[in-house]
Structure 1
Amino acid sequence: MAWNYYFKDRSGAQNGPVTLEELSALAQSGRIAPDCLVWAEGGEPKPAGQHPALAGLFVGRAAAGAGGAGPLEPGFPVWGLFWRSIVFIFGMALIIPAPWVGLWFYRFIADHVALPGGARLRLESSIGESWWLFAGLGVAEMIGPAFADSGGRGAAQIVSLALSIWLTVRLIDWFCRSLRAERGGLSLFFEGGALAYFGWIVLFSLSIFTIIGWAWALKYMIRWLCAKVSGTHAFEFVGTGLDLLWRILLLTLAFAFVLPIPWALRWFIEWYVSQIVVAPRAVQQATAQALAA
Structure 2
Amino acid sequence: MSNRSWFYASNGQQQGPHPETQLRDLITRGMVGADTLVWTEGMSGWQRAGDIPGLVPGGSGPPSFAQPGGPPPVAAGGYGGGALSIDVGLWPLLGWALLFIIGMLLVIPAPWVATYFYRWIVSRIYVPGRPNLAFNGQPLDIWYVFIAIGILTYVGSADLYYLQYLSIPIQAVLSWMVIRWVAANLSSNGQPLPIAFNGSALGYVGWQVLLYLSFITIVGWAWVVTAWMRWICRNIDGTHREVIFTASGLEVLWRTLVFVIACIFIIPIPWMLRWYAQWYASQFALAERGTLANA
Compute the TM-score of the two structures, normalised by the length of structure 1.
0.71
Identity of aligned residues (%): 36
Greater relative contact order (CA < 8 Å, ≥ 6 in sequence): 1
Cα deviation, residue 235, structure 1: 1.0
Question: Which of 61, 71, 79 is equivalent to 2:83?
Answer: 71
1:266 aligned to 2:274? yes
Q: In the comparison of the two structures, how many residue pairs are matched?
A: 235
- Contact kept, 8 Å, 1:254 with 1:260, in 2: the verdict is yes
Q: Deviations over 1:7-66 (max 9, x none)?
A: xxxxxxxxxxxxxxxxxxxxxxxxxxx96xxxxxxxxxx95988xxxxxxxx99966655
SS in structure 2 at match of 1:234: strand
Say which is worse superposed, 267-276 or 220-229, in terms of deviation: 220-229
- Contact kept, 8 Å, 2:134 with 2:187, in 1: the verdict is yes
Which residue is 1:92 aligned to?
Answer: 104
Question: Which of 73, 85, 95 is equivalent to 1:83?
Answer: 95
Say which is worse superposed, 126-135 or 105-114, in terms of deviation: 126-135
Cα deviation, residue 206, structure 1: 2.3
Q: Deviations over 1:252-277 (max 9, x none)?
A: 11111110100100000011001101
Question: Which of 170, 182, 186 is equivalent to 2:189?
Answer: 182
Which residue is 2:140 aligned to?
Answer: 128
- Contact kept, 8 Å, 2:76 with 2:130, in 1: the verdict is no
Give the structure with the larger helix fraction: 1
Query: Residue 144 and residue 290 in structure 1: after superposition, are their counterparts in 2 closer, same or farther (change >3 A)?
Result: closer
- Contact kept, 8 Å, 1:74 with 1:113, in 2: the verdict is yes
- Contact kept, 8 Å, 1:119 with 1:183, in 2: the verdict is no
- Contact kept, 8 Å, 1:144 with 1:160, in 2: the verdict is no
Unaligned runs of 5+ in 2: 1-49, 52-60, 66-70
Q: Deviations over 1:105-149 (max 9, x none)?
A: 11111110021157131111212213122112112333564x63x
1:247 aligned to 2:259? no
1:220 aligned to 2:212? no
- Contact kept, 8 Å, 2:169 with 2:208, in 1: the verdict is no
Which residue is 1:278 aligned to?
Answer: 286
Question: Which of 151, 161, 175 is equivalent to 1:168?
Answer: 175
Compute the TM-score of the two structures, normalised by the length of structure 2.
0.70
Cα-Cα RMSD: 3.1
Which residue is 1:113 aligned to?
Answer: 125
- Contact kept, 8 Å, 2:168 with 2:209, in 1: the verdict is no
